[in-house]
Amino acid sequence: MTTSRFYISTPIYYVNDVPHIGHAYTTLACDVMARFKRLDGYDVMFLTGTDEHGQKVETAAAAAGLDPLTFTAKVSKNFRDLLPAMNISNDDFIRTTEPRHILSVQEIWRRLVANDHIYLGKYAGWYSVRDEAYFAENELVDGIAPTGAPVEWVEEPSYFFDLSKWQEPLLAFYETNPDFIAPNSRRNEVISFVSGGLRDLSVSRTSFKWGIPVPDDDAHIMYVWLDALTNYITAAGFPDTGGETYQKFWPADIHMVGKDILRFHAVYWPAFLMAAGLEPPHRVFAHGWWTNEGQKISKSVGNVIDPLELIDTYGLDQVRYFLLREVPFGNDGDLSRTAIISRMNNDLANDFGNLSQRVLGFIAKNGNAKVPTPGLFSDADQAILRLGEELLARTRTAYDNQAFNKALEGVWEVVSAGNRYIDEQAPWALRKTDPERMATVLYTLLEVIRRLAIVMQPVVPGSADRMLDQLSVPADARDFAHFGTNHKLTPGTDLPKPEPIFPRYVEAE
């Protein structure tokens, strides 16, 4: 049997600054997706990394008084260090200054030249260093880029990629691959942009040096987006297209990106790949942006959110849960203190945490600290067991659409049903009158909690693990192959002393 594979990537982050909530968010979404697929039996490759060339990084290095190599190594490390702090399970970390990547980008270039898609000309127009993007005169709004970034006039010899010829092939590609761009609203946006016509794209620069040299013409370095996008295929082993990794993992399943960089991924990238005779990825998913207490996040306002500080204040799994639960993935969202505390206290502490703590605490006190032995299951027991059983398939459908909030809403329906069930069945009242029935109710609840903890692993890996520890579920029985009734809890198994898993947020005095 061949295992299915799943390749997911984050954007590679510019090393001009420290990591912020935007970086943490994209990486987290990929992590949750990667963890889900691993638990579901896929062979997963999860890639993240840093984008280290271009004018923006060169300028940041100069401002820090460092040469670009020293500077990029230092800042790239900050991004790498964020990963364990957020419990990110990436399989690879790519830096665009690595030899494997330089080799790969130069090979892509050679193929574009060999296929006659690159020609030498002269660029004269506006450039935004902040966006690392070219803008036409008629795109400017009051003399600045539509993104709000300042632009500078650039006039220099440049190689061009014949993007104008790719309008029809791209539209045909979107048509035959309706799932390529998600969510759907973004797909329409891209189609309408491409339908409006495409201009050839300047793909080299001569006015600065920090980039990958154009093969056979050292006066030019490559445009940073051609360099950066190629990272996804470098990590899949390119140029060795016969290699095992390439054969297995390319084309990628999902490039996760912020909405601001969708055009590069959904227009330029498939055009470059098709022009080089390579397959485009399966899907580009554009997520929305966070505001901070209702305000746009920006360095000049000084309201940039440090993900490490957030984790310090509220806890890692709390932050992971909040970011994925609060807004439909793809929409913009607001990060507010009240909203985080409410999710933390209501959803995690009162609903989910309390369900497991009530049941495990009661068993520890009244059930010899063992998995109870159930009798016959009543209709009510069977109904809640069935809800738990159906949860995986429902969650899988949501994950297949990157609808993380929907997946979590589905989980919480079962959590609420569990809390209602325990109130209705009132095992504490059965302790004296009908201990056998009490055992059946508690066993039913433990089975529901086991299922909840298994499907929650991708979002709150640490907490779900602790919950499964408290249920004495062995480490090798926590993947989705062990979700079913065949792997239900064994009566008589010893249970450790339960500890609360999701603390309430208490305001400091």
- Contacts with ligand ME8 by CB under 6 A lie at 11-14, 22-23, 25-26, 51, 228-229, 231, 257-258, 260-261, 289-290, 297
Could you tell me which of 502, 500, 504, 503 has the C-alpha nearest to residue 358? 500
Identity of the residue, 42 or 289, whose beta carbon is nearer to ligand ME8 in the bound complex: 289
Whose CB is nearest to ligand ME8? Answer: 258
Three-state DSSP class for residue 203:
coil
What is the C-alpha separation between 444 and 120, in angstroms, rounded?
71
Q: How far is the CB of 332 from ligand ME8 (least distance, A)?
A: 8
Q: How far is the CB of 228 from ligand ME8 (least distance, A)?
A: 4
Identity of the residue, 22 or 315, whose beta carbon is nearer to ligand ME8 in the bound complex: 22
Identity of the residue, 58 or 447, whose beta carbon is nearer to ligand ME8 in the bound complex: 58
Collect all residues with Cβ–Cβ distance below 8 Å to 458 and sequence separation of at least 6.
Answer: 31, 32, 33, 35, 36, 39
Q: How far is the CB of 492 from ligand ME8 (least distance, A)?
A: 49
CB 181 within 8 A of CB 187: yes
What is the C-alpha separation between 222 and 268, in angstroms, rounded?
14
Identity of the residue, 94 or 460, whose beta carbon is nearer to ligand ME8 in the bound complex: 94
CB 43 within 8 A of CB 3: yes
Instruction: Sort strands 254-258 and 152-161 into parallel, antiparallel or unpaired.
Output: unpaired
Identity of the residue, 25 or 135, whose beta carbon is nearer to ligand ME8 in the bound complex: 25
Identity of the residue, 307 or 374, whose beta carbon is nearer to ligand ME8 in the bound complex: 307
Q: How far is the CB of 343 from ligand ME8 (least distance, A)?
A: 18
What is the C-alpha separation between 463 and 477, in angstroms, rounded?
16
Identity of the residue, 9 or 457, whose beta carbon is nearer to ligand ME8 in the bound complex: 9
Pseudo-torsion of CA 121, 278, 240, 31, nearest 10°? Answer: 110
Could you tell me which of 261, 268, 256, 112 has the C-alpha nearest to residue 182? 256
Q: How far is the CB of 26 from ligand ME8 (least distance, A)?
A: 5
Identity of the residue, 160 or 232, whose beta carbon is nearer to ligand ME8 in the bound complex: 232
Q: How far is the CB of 22 from ligand ME8 (least distance, A)?
A: 2
CB 471 within 8 A of CB 411: no
Q: How far is the CB of 98 from ligand ME8 (least distance, A)?
A: 15
CB 61 within 8 A of CB 21: no
Contacts 24+ apart (CB under 8 A), 372-377: 372/438, 372/439, 372/440, 372/442, 372/443, 372/446, 372/491, 373/439, 373/443, 373/491, 373/492, 374/439, 374/440, 374/443, 374/444, 374/491, 375/436, 375/437, 375/439, 375/440, 376/440, 377/440, 377/444
Identity of the residue, 35 or 56, whose beta carbon is nearer to ligand ME8 in the bound complex: 56
CB 107 within 8 A of CB 239: yes
CB 254 within 8 A of CB 329: no
Instruction: Return the ∠ at Cα 213 (arms to 208 and 218), rounded to 5°.
Output: 80
Burial class (CB in 10 A: 0-12, 13-18, 19+), 64: middle
Identity of the residue, 166 or 329, whose beta carbon is nearer to ligand ME8 in the bound complex: 329
Q: How far is the CB of 261 from ligand ME8 (least distance, A)?
A: 5
Identity of the residue, 246 or 289, whose beta carbon is nearer to ligand ME8 in the bound complex: 289
Q: How far is the CB of 339 from ligand ME8 (least distance, A)?
A: 15
Q: How far is the CB of 468 from ligand ME8 (least distance, A)?
A: 31
CB 416 within 8 A of CB 353: no
